[in-house]
Amino acid sequence: MNKELRPLFITWEYPPYKAGGIAAHCEDLATTMASQGYSPVVITYGEKEEKEFRDGVEIHRVPANNSTNNTLTWAMALGDRMEKKALELTKKQSFDLVHAHDWMTVPAATGIKKTLGLDMVFTVHSTQQGRDGINSDYQQAIHNLEWMGTYEAEQVITVGREFCEEVKHLYEVPEDKINYIPNGVDLDKFDSHSASLQRDNYALDWEQIVLFVGRMYPQKGPGHLIEAMPHILEQKPEAKFIMCGSGATEHYKGIAKSQVGDKVHFPGYVSDEALIGLMKEAEMTVAPSVYEPFGIVPLEAAACETATVGSYTGGMKDTIVHEYTGLHTYPEDHGSITNQVTRALNDPSWADWLGDNARDRVEDNFRWEQITSWTTGVYTEAVT
Amino acid sequence: MKILFLTRRFIDGDNVSEYVKALAEKATEKGHKAVILAFEDNENYTVDQKVRVERVPLHYEGDSLYSWSMMLNNEMKERARKYLDKEDFDIVHANDWLTVPGATAVGKYFEKPIVLTVHSTENQRGFNDPNSEVISEMEWKGCKEADKILVNSEDTYNSLKHDLDVQDHKIKVLNPLADNWQDSVLNTYEDLLKTEDKLIGE
């Protein structure tokens, strides 16, 4: 791709604001592009209008109207403000394409595309059907917006191999405009982490940490791990379950505490520093997801040389190699989770070996430098 | 003059459609050019052949009039841009909040004066839509970005002034039941263009 070309990223979340994985994805992609000589510009949500240069990336934040009655309306109104910002920026600089991330940015990105006559790339991180179905007019409206994003985009990127097929069939995307590019991991972030973990805050010296990281929603499957906990503890009383993440925490905490008492701890949303420390300290991470287009947790754990026990679904079919970089479980099957977690806890040196292999595989296959090259290749396809 | 009208619907019998039709026909009668952009709803309309009507399809229903209209406006932006790439326009004339996103994007990007007719405000309609907040915000934005705002009644004038804090000098009351009201609108366009020319000259 011609490095003079300038992509305009449209994302509703960009660090330090982050609710899911899109923020980290956009930051890592934009930062790596900047380090390779491109000049990405980001328009994203913020509490107030502000501009920032960080790691070679120009970031513009626009506030939203928070009195809207649902997220779809919120995204539409935010889209109008994002487009206004884009038009303002084009008075001083030109863009060659607009790169939208997920349905919430489709109104803004298609508006910008159509007013400025730009080409568009659309990355689908998950689908409405996969998240919680298409059972109401509201869900249908979001599903239709996702379709419109794939329809209007010159090129579509999906983050999982199996997910790519799902998106292709769900939205009838032509073969020649859909691409699979996985997420990546910024290994430097994990390697440069030096803060020591206050382990006492999470587990006793003799306990083995089994770590869950993710939003506490059914899609991520925390309930299936909770169901497995008493059975795991019967065989491995040393296990200590740490459940990190926001969402319906109190709901799951109540259930888990009634099952295993102090053998489970819910610290809520933890900082990146603490999270990396926990991942390095844990015997394994467990990702019991029901639906997971990609699933970044196995890669982040791998960066920490920690293996993941994860459901054989979506992206984790690719990011975990069974009995080589981690262990697969049957989705929604607490018996399967019990078996695989216990296997790894019973043989810590084998678990270490799995973690080492996971790290090697991430270094070889999931570096942002490689992912950015693939992405700019898609840009070239989009603008020609 | 070449005038680009944006209206959500263009069908016989609808008040806003009749307003736009009367204006566009008067403009062409006086030797000006008029193009109307409206949603492709397969409804009937009758209009003088000199007026060009462009129907814009939208393959999106949304969950509300608000979300639907936001996506319709994106389609209008594209159609308007394609026109403006081929031949110049002098004025972009929007009707109600429903066409504000399209008119302001096109007007601002191509640096054309924007006229907005507010047929009624969300406050006048009772502010009882689940999306009233964002609809009212869109009216506020339209009034802020427009170079001239036309209203059909003193009631709407008062609502703009007091509910949306619009400056008095931007608003013009023109009753579409009055004689020769279209001529007054055409004069408004010409005054706007003279002001623009004067500003460019300075």
Nearest to A140 by CA among B61, B58, B130: B61
> Domain check: are A272 and A304 in the same one?
yes
Would you say residue A325 lies in a domain?
Answer: yes
Q: Select from A65, A70, A83 the Cβ nearest to the Cβ of B105.
A: A83
A76 — contact with chain B (CB < 8 Å)?
yes
- Reported as a single tens digit per residue, the pLDDT across A234-273 is 999 999 999 999 899 999 999 999 999 999 999 988 888 9
Of residues B176, B112, B180, B109, the one with CA closest to residue B146:
B112
Work out whether the CA dihedral B61, B65, B69, B71 comes out positive or negative: negative
A119 & A163 share domain = yes
Q: Which of B74, B131, B133 sits opposite A110 (nearest CB)?
A: B74
Mean pLDDT of chain B: 95
Phi, psi (deg, nearest 5) at residue B115: -110, 135
| Per-residue confidence (pLDDT) for residue A67, from 0 to 100 | 83
| Chain-chain contact of B60 with A144 (C-beta, under 8 angstroms) | yes
Instruction: Return the H-helix or E-strand segment holding B81.
Output: helix B65-86
Please tell me the number of Cα atoms within 13 Å of A64 on its side-chain side. 24
Closest alpha carbon within chain A to B71: A107
Whether A84 is in a domain gets the answer: yes
Q: Is residue A1 part of a domain?
A: no
- Report the length, in residues, of chain A: 384
Q: How far is CA B120 from the centre of its chain?
A: 13
* Rounded Cα gap, residues B14 and B45, in angstroms: 10
pLDDT at residue A195 in the model: 72
The domain total for chain A is 2
| CA distance to partner chain B, nearest, from residue A70 (Å) | 9
Its sign, for the CA torsion A272, A278, A282, A286, is negative
Residues 22-61 of A with CB under 8 A from B: none
- For residue A123, the distance in angstroms to the closest alpha carbon of chain B comes to 19
- Report CA torsion sign: A194, A199, A205, A211: negative
* Cβ atoms of A208 and A283 closer than 8 Å: yes
| CATH tag for B2-201 (out of 3.40.50.720, 3.40.1440.10, 3.40.50.2000, 2.30.30.30) | 3.40.50.2000
Query: A125 and A211, same structural domain?
Result: no
Collect the ranges in chain B with pLDDT lower than 70. 199-202
Give the domain CATH number at A56.
3.40.50.2000
A128 and A251, same structural domain? no
Work out the average pLDDT over A347-376. Answer: 96
Question: Which residues form the domain of A95?
Answer: 7-184+367-383
CA distance A254 to A257: 5
Q: What is the distance between the alpha carbons of residues A357 and A365, in angstroms, rounded to a whole number?
A: 12
How close B101 comes to chain A (CA, Å)?
7
Confidence bin at A21 (pLDDT 50/70/90): confident
CA distance B196 to B47: 31
Indicate the pTM of the whole model.
0.90
A130 plus A251 within the same structural domain: no
> Using alpha carbons only, what angle is made at residue A174 by residues A172 and A179, rounded to the nearest 5 degrees?
105
The answer to whether residues A52 and A24 belong to one domain is: yes
Interchain contact B81–A (C-beta under 8 A)? yes
- For A15, A78, A318, B83, B130, the CA distances from A66, given in Å and listed in that order, are 20, 9, 39, 36, 13
CB of A71 within 8 Å of any CB in chain B? Answer: no
Please state, in angstroms and rounded to a whole number, the distance separating the CA atoms of residues A128 and B92: 37
Tokens of B71: 């996506």
* Whole-angstrom distance, CA of residue B196 vs CA of residue A349: 78
Alpha-carbon distance B103 to nearest alpha carbon in chain A (angstroms): 11
**Paired tokens of A287:** 């990702």
Angle, helices A71-89 vs B65-86, to 10°: value is 20
Record: contact B63-A111, CB cut-off 8 A? no
For residue A369, the model assigns a pLDDT of 94
Report the pLDDT value the prediction gives residue B201, as an integer from 0 to 100. 64
Residue among A303, A344, A304, A346 nearest A326 (CA)? A344
> In DSSP terms, which residues pair with B150 in a beta bridge?
B117, B172
My answer on whether A352 and A295 are in the same domain is: yes
Distance from CA of B30 to the nearest CA of A (A): 31
Give the separation between CA A244 and CA A301, rounded to whole angstroms.
13
> Is residue A329 included in any domain, yes or no?
yes
CA-nearest of B109, B33, B44 to B78 is: B109
Partners of A179 in beta bridges: A157
Residues A377 and A244 in one domain: no
Strands of the sheet containing A7-11, edge to edge, are A50-54, A57-62, A41-45, A7-11, A97-101, A119-124, A155-158, A178-180
Same domain for A118 and A159, yes or no, is yes
A162 confidence band (pLDDT: 50, 70, 90): very high
Judgement on whether residues A107 and A226 belong to the same structural domain of the protein: no
pLDDT at position B202 is 59
CB contact under 8 A, A107 and B70: yes
Q: What is the DSSP letter of B50?
A: T
For helices B65-86 and A137-152, give the axis angle rounded to 10 degrees: 20
pLDDT digits (tens, 9 = 90+) for B140-193: 999 999 999 999 999 999 999 999 999 999 999 999 999 999 999 999 999 999
CA distance A93 to A28: 23
Quote the mean pLDDT of chain A: 95
Integer Cα distance of B157 and B117 in angstroms: 11
pLDDT value at residue A303? 97
Domain definitions of chain B by residue range:
2-201
CA distances from A85 to A61, A91, B143 (A): 9, 10, 18
Does A41 reside within a domain?
Answer: yes
Confidence check: pLDDT of A1 > 60 = no
Residues within 8 A of B (CB atoms), A 143-182 only: 144-145, 148, 151
A348-354 own/partner pairs: CB under 8 Å, 24+ apart: A348/A208, A348/A283, A351/A283, A351/A284, A351/A307, A352/A305, A354/A307, A354/A323, A354/A324, A354/A325, A354/A326, A354/A327
Asked if omega into A16 is within 30° of 0 (cis), the reply is yes
Are A96 and A119 a contacting pair, CB within 8 Å? yes
Shortest distance, CA B147 to any CA of chain A (angstroms)? 17
The shortest CB-CB distance from B67 to any of A67, A76, A87 is to A76
| Residue A126 CA, distance from chain mean position | 9
Q: Smallest Cα–Cα separation from A10: which of A68, A140, A97?
A: A97
pLDDT score of A7 more than 80? yes
Q: Which chain A residues are Cβ-neighbours of B81 within 8 angstroms?
A: 114-117
If asked whether residues A171 and A237 sit together in one domain, one would say no
Distance CA A110, CA A115 (A): 8
The string of pLDDT tens digits covering residues A273-312 is 999 999 999 999 999 999 999 989 999 999 999 999 999 9
Q: A365 touching B, CB under 8 A?
A: no
Given a contact cutoff of 8 angstroms between Cβ atoms, the answer to whether B68 and B61 are in contact is yes
Residue A157 and residue A281 in one domain: no
What residue type is assigned to position A162 of the chain? E
